[in-house]
């Protein structure tokens, strides 16, 4: 009998969710492989799912309740220790990790750094990186390339240029390697902490060497001190380091010390580069998956850019490219699972919550919840043609409330500039049998890379 060739799948790749109750050991094994594989299928059909696996937990997918947790009752739901424990050795008590007053003053001091005007001024760094990515892809014309790998290189170039621009002695490659190694070693945390498994359970991820981290911090400290000591160059666009050096908390007038500056700049590098690379890689995968979307996007990019590299002033003329980015962030949110700890008793969606309970915000399941989205697993950038039609708390790729991502505007600007530039110059098609597999290890990554055939147009 001739083999039946499967037709093209109508939906892009997704994570197989759990349809049967699992024992704790199986959950833990799955969590080590892929944190999102512990998500029950019902989390895409219900507003809340609760359980007890060593520790009481709740998964919340209900927009008004998410608003309560992230905004109205912020102080009752601090970030859980899990992510903080992973990140603290690398980025200290910086903006991402700190809580309470120590978080507050840093956020007030850093907020102006990310003003729209400052971000727009950094646009040329993004256009430059988009151009360099095009050059590399030109060399891959007619072949398959791993676009995830390419996008990691591209976004790292942007973030290192806008943090330590022009610092000759600053070895970007070694910082990049140290950060990537660190995350690879530590991020396979599984849900040991979330599920409250006793502390004596060995956690191989903790057995990392701190040598590379120490060295990375020293390199950054030296670059910061050299910059602080040198006179500002009036002709140079201020980068994130210049802006943060000049920043102060308007309430307390406090300024950051060298270690605080370093921890925050490293935070921007850690929080900003892989997440944006993932957004772009998944967006490119989706464009290759749906050639009609890609053709429409290319028509817009070519019409506006006429072969040029995109710049900040093109952004308002590229709405469809932006919609593709928004839809990629819905289907594959890089921060696919946020986690909080309840500090006191509460009621969430009629469920009793006790102090100490873990409250998970599975953004992946929220973005694919059937109560909130029509055909949630299909790729349809037109969902975002009228952003006002989207419930603010149903779409949380950047979180929300006072702890919303400080770099959201930066990331979107960068992603649109790079995607528009690439789609204006290249056509991407899938490589048979090499679909990426979505796996969450701290972020939602495409296991195996995003391999696409590259064709110049």
Closest to 151 measured CA to CA, from 122, 175, 126: 126
Q: Does 405 bind ligand HEM (CB under 6 A)?
A: yes
E-strand stretches of 295-345 = 338-341
Cα-based distances in Å from 398 to 237, 379, 456? 27, 20, 33
CB of 114 to ligand HEM, least distance (A): 7
Q: Where do we find the tokens 């980025």?
A: 91
Two tokens at 139? 């060399």
CB atoms within 10 A of CB 346: 19
Residue among 152 and 271 whose Cβ is closer to ligand HEM: 271
- Residues touching ligand HEM: how many (CB under 6 A)? 23
Residue among 325 and 454 whose Cβ is closer to ligand HEM: 325
Stretch that binds ligand HEM, among 57-65, 142-150, 215-223, 395-403 (CB under 6 A): 395-403
Q: Tell me which of 379, 395, 398, 426 binds ligand HEM, using CB under 6 A.
A: 398
Residue among 111 and 299 whose Cβ is closer to ligand HEM: 111
84 vs 36: CA distance, rounded Å:
19
Closest to 238 measured CA to CA, from 328, 141, 359, 113: 113
Q: Tell me which of 127, 275, 309, 421 binds ligand HEM, using CB under 6 A.
A: 275
Q: Tell me which of 217, 298, 403, 425 binds ligand HEM, using CB under 6 A.
A: 403
Q: Give the CA radius of gyration of the chain.
A: 22
Two tokens at 48? 């809340």
Residue at shortest CB range from ligand HEM:
407
CB atoms within 10 A of CB 41: 14
Q: Mark 344-383 with x for binding to ligand HEM (rule: CB under 6 A) and - for no binding.
A: ----------------------------------------
Q: Tell me which of 34, 44, 154, 267 binds ligand HEM, using CB under 6 A.
A: 267
Q: Mark 182-221 with x for binding to ligand HEM (rule: CB under 6 A) and - for no binding.
A: ----------------------------------------
**Pairing of the two strands 358-361 and 338-341:** antiparallel
146 vs 455: CA distance, rounded Å:
14
Task: Compute the CA torsion angle 22, 25, 29, 30 (nearest 10 deg).
Answer: 10
Stretch that binds ligand HEM, among 141-149, 202-210, 250-258, 269-277 (CB under 6 A): 269-277
Q: Does 268 bind ligand HEM (CB under 6 A)?
A: yes
Stretch that binds ligand HEM, among 4-12, 59-67, 197-205, 407-415 (CB under 6 A): 407-415
Q: Does 338 bind ligand HEM (CB under 6 A)?
A: yes
Q: Does 406 bind ligand HEM (CB under 6 A)?
A: yes
289 vs 282: CA distance, rounded Å:
10
Q: Where do we find the tokens 């530039």?
A: 421
Residue among 36 and 140 whose Cβ is closer to ligand HEM: 36
Q: Tell me which of 69, 212, 271, 318 binds ligand HEM, using CB under 6 A.
A: 271
4-23 binders of ligand HEM (CB under 6 A): none
Q: Does 107 bind ligand HEM (CB under 6 A)?
A: yes
Two tokens at 256? 């950051």
Stretch that binds ligand HEM, among 126-134, 141-149, 247-255, 393-401 (CB under 6 A): 393-401
Q: Does 328 bind ligand HEM (CB under 6 A)?
A: no
Q: Tell me which of 125, 384, 410, 426 binds ligand HEM, using CB under 6 A.
A: 410
> Residues 225, 219: contact at Cβ < 8 Å?
no
Q: Tell me which of 57, 77, 96, 105 binds ligand HEM, using CB under 6 A.
A: 96
Q: Mark 64-83 with x for binding to ligand HEM (rule: CB under 6 A) and - for no binding.
A: ---------------x----
Residue among 18 and 130 whose Cβ is closer to ligand HEM: 130
Provide the edge-to-edge strand list for the sheet that holds 144-146.
144-146, 451-456, 426-430
> Residues 31, 190: contact at Cβ < 8 Å?
yes
Per-residue buried b or exposed e for 405-427, using 16+ beta carbons within 10 Å of the residue's own CB: bbbebbbbbbbbbbbbbbbbbbb
What is 333-374 written as a DSSP string?
-SS--EEEE--S-EEETTEEE-TT-EEEE-HHHHTT-TTTSS
CB of 218 to ligand HEM, least distance (A): 22
255 vs 100: CA distance, rounded Å:
17
By the criterion CB under 6 A, which residues form the site for ligand HEM? 79, 95-96, 107, 267-268, 271-272, 275-276, 279, 334-335, 338, 397-399, 403, 405-407, 410-411
């Amino acid at each position: 009998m001739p083999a039946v060739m499967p037709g093209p799948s109508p939906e892009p790749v997704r994570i197989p969710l759990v349809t049967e109750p699992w024992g704790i050991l199986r959950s833990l094994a799955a969590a080590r492989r892929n944190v999102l594989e512990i998500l029950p299928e019902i989390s895409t059909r219900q507003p809340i799912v609760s359980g007890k696996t060593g520790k009481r937990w709740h998964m919340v997918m209900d927009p008004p309740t998410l608003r309560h947790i992230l905004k109205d009752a912020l102080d009752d739901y601090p970030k859980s220790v899990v992510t903080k424990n992973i990140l603290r050795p690398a980025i200290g008590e910086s903006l991402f990790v700190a809580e309470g007053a120590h978080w507050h003053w840093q956020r007030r001091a850093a907020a102006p750094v990310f003003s729209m005007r400052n971000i727009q001024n950094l646009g040329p760094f993004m256009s430059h990186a988009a151009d360099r990515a095009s050059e590399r892809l030109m060399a891959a014309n007619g072949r398959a390339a791993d676009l995830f790998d390419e996008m990691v290189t591209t976004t790292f170039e942007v973030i290192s240029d806008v943090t330590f621009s022009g610092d000759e002695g600053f070895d970007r490659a070694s910082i990049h390697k140290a950060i990537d190694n660190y995350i690879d070693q530590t991020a396979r945390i599984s849900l040991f902490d979330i599920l409250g498994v006793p502390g004596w359970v060995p956690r191989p991820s903790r057995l990392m060497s701190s040598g590379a981290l120490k060295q990375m911090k020293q390199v950054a400290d030296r670059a910061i001190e050299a910059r602080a000591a040198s006179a500002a160059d009036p002709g140079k666009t201020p980068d994130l380091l210049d802006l943060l050096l000049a920043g102060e908390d308007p309430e307390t007038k406090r300024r950051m010390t060298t270690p605080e500056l370093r921890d925050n700049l490293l935070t921007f590098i850690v929080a900003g580069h892989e997440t944006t690379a993932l957004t772009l890689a998944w967006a490119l995968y989706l464009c290759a998956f749906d050639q009609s979307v890609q053709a429409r996007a290319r028509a817009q990019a070519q019409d506006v850019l006429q072969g040029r590299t995109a710049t900040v002033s093109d952004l308002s003329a590229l709405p469809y490219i932006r919609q593709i980015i928004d839809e990629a962030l819905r289907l594959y949110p890089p921060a696919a699972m946020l986690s909080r700890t309840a500090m006191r008793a509460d009621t969430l969606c009629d469920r009793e919550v006790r102090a100490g309970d873990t409250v998970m915000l599975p953004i992946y399941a929220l973005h694919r919840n059937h109560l909130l989205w029509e055909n949630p697993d299909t790729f349809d950038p037109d969902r975002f043609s009228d952003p006002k039609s989207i419930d603010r708390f149903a779409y949380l790729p950047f979180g929300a409330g006072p702890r919303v991502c400080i770099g959201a505007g930066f990331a979107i600007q960068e992603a649109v500039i790079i995607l528009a530039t690439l789609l204006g110059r290249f056509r991407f098609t899938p490589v048979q049998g090499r679909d990426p597999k979505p796996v969450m290890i701290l972020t939602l990554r495409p296991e195996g890379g995003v391999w696409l055939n590259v064709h110049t147009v």
